[in-house]
Structure 1
Amino acid sequence: MKDVANCPKCGKIFVKALRSICQPCFKEQEEHYDTVSTFMRKKQNRMASMRELHEKTGVDLSLIHQFVREGRLQIKMFPNLGYPCESCGEIIKEGRLCGGCTENITSGLEKVEKEKAFESRKDVERRAERSQVTAYHSLNDRFTKK
């Protein structure tokens, strides 16, 4: 059975097959894409920034970001376009995270790995110390006559 869902934009119930939004909202989104695409195809507008694109077309910034993220607006052709990093919001041109956030995550993971390695070495040393200590001594050795 097909999935039935509420459209995240308008709240109407629709059958969720190929798209995550209902057909009327998809048509509206495509109209916005056509508006943005037409504007950007003009030679004098190719260097427009995200803010200028938003102001001159009236299309919401989040929708423009979505078009860039999906690759519908090519970064190679329009160098001033981008979308926000999912962590800090800095404008990026590829991936999901900016270089700074990627570095923070990588260094954090390396730190955790180093701590795990240190703890495992400490456990090995503790086990070695325990194996050297005997659990009890015989009293017979003490009282043996020489």
Structure 2
Amino acid sequence: MAEVRNCSSCGEFFNYTGMRDICYKCAQNEEELYQIVYRFLRKRENRAATMERIVEATGVSEELLHKWVRKNRLQPAMFPNLGYPCDNCGHITNSGKLCAKCQNEIKSDLRTFEAAKEFRDNIAKSERGAYLSDRNK
């Protein structure tokens, strides 16, 4: 069953069905803007356009471009200078929620944590063994 929500774009009430967080009018407007951007990018000379150039030429907001790239409506494989901000640091990335640098930092932190945990476990085992051997004397 649909629920009534406020459109995140214009603030009007609409029946939310789980598909999008904007009302029908805003969705139509967004689709028209998408078509403008897509027509702009389909021209050979514009395929390598930067975000700033696309915003300047089409008038579409950078946030909307990020949304379309994140949802794979505009694919970085076809348009190499497109991306969206990393959820952690804000650096532009083309896939996932985190950029490569943040992914590597998290992997490194996890390796360090795992090594420290293994070290603590080894110490606990050796201490347990020492206590057990003292009891047997």
Using the size of structure 2 for normalisation, the TM-score is: 0.89
Equivalence for 2:107:
106
Equivalence for 2:132:
131
- Amino acid aligned to 1:102: Q
- Once residues 77 and 115 of structure 1 are traced to their aligned partners in structure 2, the CA distance between those partners, rounded to angstroms, is 43
Is the radius of gyration larger for structure 1 or structure 2? 1
Equivalence for 1:50:
51
Other structure's SS at 1:25 match: helix
- 1:1-146 maps to which residues of 2 (within 5 A)? 1-17=1-17, 18-134=19-135
- Once residues 95 and 28 of structure 2 are traced to their aligned partners in structure 1, the CA distance between those partners, rounded to angstroms, is 27
- Once residues 64 and 132 of structure 2 are traced to their aligned partners in structure 1, the CA distance between those partners, rounded to angstroms, is 65
Supply the RMSD in Å over aligned alpha carbons: 1.8
Shift of residue 14, structure 1, vs aligned partner: 1.7
Aligned identity (percent) is 41
Number of positions where the alignment pairs a residue of Structure 1 with one of Structure 2: 136
Deviations 1:61-113 (A, max 9, x none): 01011111211112222222222222112222222211110000001111111
- Once residues 129 and 45 of structure 2 are traced to their aligned partners in structure 1, the CA distance between those partners, rounded to angstroms, is 74
- Amino acid aligned to 1:126: E
Q: Please list every run of 5 or more consecutive structure 1 residues that lacks an aligned counterpart in the other structure.
A: 136-146
Using the size of structure 1 for normalisation, the TM-score is: 0.84
- Once residues 34 and 122 of structure 2 are traced to their aligned partners in structure 1, the CA distance between those partners, rounded to angstroms, is 57
Deviations 1:5-55 (A, max 9, x none): 222222222211122211111112111111111111222222211100001
Runs of 4 or more consecutive aligned structure 1 residues displaced over 6 Å after TM superposition: none
Other structure's SS at 2:33 match: helix
- Once residues 14 and 130 of structure 1 are traced to their aligned partners in structure 2, the CA distance between those partners, rounded to angstroms, is 68
Greater percentage in helix: 2
Shift of residue 58, structure 1, vs aligned partner: 0.7
- Amino acid aligned to 2:89: C
Which segment is superposed worse, 120-129 or 101-110? Answer: 120-129
